[in-house]
Amino acid sequence: MSTLKILTCNIRFYGAKDGDNAWEHRKDFCAEVIRGEEPDLIGFQEMWAEQYDDLTRALPGYDTFAMVDEPTGKRPMNCIFYRRERFVRVSAGGYWLSETPHVAGTKSWDSVCVRLANWVRLNDSVTGREFRFVNTHLDHVGQTARERQAALIAADAAAYPEEYPQILTGDMNCDTRNPAIDNLKAGGWVDTYGQIYETEDPGHTFHAFRGPDHSGKVGKMDWIFVRGQVQVTDAGVITTSRDNRYPSDHYFVSAAINL
């Protein structure tokens, strides 16, 4: 057995009007924090093309996969990074979180934004095991959309054998009290943080660049789930800061697993 380290990282989109917290002022620190965790797999959310260029340069040991959200867009919003020396890609794809999941750029229900899921099937050259890694971002406003989007991800995962190892990362825009999370659990997804600790909710992971001073009402909205024959060995929330500055407006979340 050999451990896989996983991160989920909402990096706050390039075009946000964030002043001193804009991407140009924190991109190097963001990359430094990620490198320090030595992840094998990373699920990013809110990645624009400019951020993709910066992070592929800063993280040269990774191959990547993403489908852009809009039909003629250039933003690899939910990009997946995986360590080049360890994994061989078997297949890759994605789908939109809508009533027409294979029609590019579609949204349904009360979803404000176009949302999608990207996935890769990888063969681990260390163990010889194959697994699937899914990365997503549920809608930030529509509750019906969040529930339906989560149900669609669960249905997609259920197409694979029950024992087949799968990993799901993402900003779910809701915490463990939300029915969207119930839909994922009903589909066989297990929270890695809850497997290690007595709670699934360590407190807020969105902090609006305020860190512990943020008074948001939503707890952990950044998740790493597993399904199938996967053993969770560690989990955590990365609260690293420097001079009261953070790599993003979300804490990154980590997990370690054995296949």
CATH, residue 217:
3.60.10.10
Q: How far apart, in whole angstroms, are the C-alpha atoms of residue 128 and residue 189?
A: 23
The whole-number average pLDDT for the span 129-154 is 98
* Res. 163: pLDDT tops 90: yes
pLDDT at 173: 98
pLDDT at 8 over 90: yes
In the predicted structure, residue 1 carries a pLDDT above the cut 70: no
Q: What is the structure's pLDDT at 217?
A: 81
Mean pLDDT computed over every residue of the chain: 97
d(CA 158, CA 63): 27
Closest by Cα among 166, 157, 170 to 205: 170
pLDDT in tens, 172-210: 999 999 999 999 999 999 999 999 998 999 999 999 999
pLDDT tens sequence across 86-140 = 999 999 999 999 999 999 999 999 999 999 999 999 999 999 999 999 999 999 9
Residues 217-222: what's their mean pLDDT?
A: 92
Count of domains forming the chain: 1
What string of DSSP letters covers 30-75? HHHHHHHH--SEEEEES--HHHHHHHHHH-TTEEEE---SSTT---
* pLDDT tops 90 at residue 216: no
Domain housing 38? 3-258
| pLDDT score for 143 | 98
- Residue 2 in 3-state DSSP? coil
Residue % of the chain over a pLDDT of 90: 97
How confident is the model over 26-50, as pLDDT tens digits?
A: 999 999 999 999 999 999 999 999 9
pLDDT band of 147, cuts 50, 70, 90: very high
pTM: 0.98
Mean pLDDT of 155-167: 98
DSSP single-letter state for residue 144: H
In 183-209, which positions are buried (b, 16+ CB within 10 angstroms) versus exposed (e)? bbbebbbbbbbbbeeeebbbbbbbbbb
Taking the chain, what is the end-to-end CA distance rounded to the nearest angstrom?
Answer: 7
